[in-house]
Copies of this chain bind each other. A is one copy, B any other.
Amino acid sequence: MPALNLKSDFADADDLDTQMAAIGRRARAAARQMALASAQTKDIALRAIAERIRVGSAEILRANARDVAAAKAASQSAALIDRLTLDEKRIAAIADAVEKIGALADPVGRQLAAFERPNGLLIERIAVPLGVIGVIFESRPNVTADAGALCLKAGNAAILRAGSDSHRSAMAIARAMSEGLVEAGLPADAIQIVPTRDRAAVGAMLTGLGGAIDVIVPRGGRSLVERVQAEAKVPVFAHLDGICHVYVAAAADLGMARTVLLNSKMRRTGICGAAETLLVDRACADTHLAPLVTALLDAGCAVRGDEAVRAVDPRVTSATDEDWRTEYLDAIISARVVEGLDAAIQHIEANGSHHTDAIITEDQAEATRFLAEVDSAIVTHNASTQFADGGEFGFGAEIGIATGRMHARGPVGVEQLTTFKYRVHGNGQTRP
């Protein structure tokens, strides 16, 4: 398969733009083949990819060892090196995840709507792949397989740009994936890793490679997402911040409020769906505020509060205006008392990030208003904000969570990696 060898040829190509344009053209051609592949063929390919990753683990680990050595030589942080490091267990998990994505229902070909017109035309809206998806990530090499498999399952081609730390590992995983694709009769180029560490390659991807990239998905820290959102000329599926709120209303059950709040904040503090701010209705502050704040403190969470919250416990420190707009991603929460539902919604709209926000209340009317008026991708009633996750939504897996308003919002699973076309069935109809 010559396609498998082309990647190394790029190193000899004239310049970055030429290389990137060639990658774009090959991705577009591969996307067309992927779009027409049957559900069965795609599933065979994903199983073959999982197997190639398992069989090729020694090679992947060798590439990864070079990445890790380089990161250590460059005195990278222990956290980065942990994210970067693969072992047999992690590779097995990567292969299992690919196989799981293969087993999902095919999102392509779904009939999203159908209507018969008075003139007898039958019009169907049918899900089709988005096309070419650009994924830009940092130090986690598993993104190659996770994000790549989701793109393939939805009939797309993917162009992946690994962080320079994870470049060799990502190349090795992508090679295994291309082999699996070819084994199933699909194009190797449906997965391509940008074969250069030149940071200008990111800029080229953000321009869309002359129409060759349909959407960009950044997978990494805030600075990456910020750059992508600022510079991209093509649509982006991403969220910049997850400043998630838990609002405890007067009609909240205290026990439920405590449980849901602790889970929203402390189950995992580093994920985008973790709560960052607690709002408590003044009407229940006398009964609810102290138990909630004490529970947080006792669970090891620092609390930064307004005057009312500080009055509860001397361990509470002062919240500044900045705190209301801060995503801690840590065992820290900001907390304040608000004058009822309207004030809570106003606080969330003014300070939040339209990601995930929760209300705890036994008052259904109040919950309904909160769910309607808080303009976030996900709003929950009596449920943890940490359910903001494609797996928890039943999507099987997600490529990320989007807070933009276009096309995909909330968890981006395989269905969100499709678009649609209209099929019009007639028997000779003409327009009068």
A residues contacting B by CB (< 8 A) are 32, 35-36, 115, 117, 121, 123, 128, 130-131, 214-215, 233, 235, 253, 256, 259-260, 262-263, 267, 349, 371-373, 375-384, 386-387, 389, 392-394, 405-407, 409-410, 419-431
Contact sample, A vs B, 26 pairs, CB 8 Å cutoff: A32-B349, A36-B372, A115-B394, A117-B394, A130-B406, A235-B235, A256-B427, A256-B428, A260-B429, A260-B430, A378-B421, A378-B424, A379-B423, A380-B426, A381-B424, A381-B425, A381-B426, A383-B424, A383-B428, A383-B429, A384-B429, A384-B431, A393-B422, A405-B419, A409-B420, A409-B422
Give Cα A215 to B406, complex, Å. Answer: 8
Contact of A377 among B375, B379, B422 (CB under 8 A): B422
In the bound complex, how far is the Cα of B381 from the Cα of A194, in angstroms? 40
A430 with B381: CB separation less than 8 A: no
Indicate if the CB atoms of B260 and A428 lie closer than 8 Å: yes
With a cutoff of 8 Å between Cβ atoms, the chain B residues found around residue A36 in the complex are 372-373
- Within the assembled complex, what's the spacing in Å between the Cα atoms of A422 and B375? 10
Residues of chain B with a CB closer than 8 A to A379's CB? 421-424
Seed contacts A381-B424, A381-B426, A386-B430; 6 additional CB < 8 Å A-B pairs: A115-B393, A215-B406, A259-B428, A263-B431, A377-B422, A392-B431
A324 vs chain B, min Cβ distance (A)? 19
Contacts of A429 in B (CB 8 A): 260, 382-384, 387
Q: Does A382 contact B422, Cβ atoms closer than 8 Å? A: no
CA distance A373 to B34 in the complex (A): 11
**Known interface pairs A267-B430, A431-B384; A235-B406 also in contact (CB < 8 Å):** yes
Contact of A406 with B407 at beta-carbon distance under 8 Å, contacts A382-B428, A394-B117 already known: yes
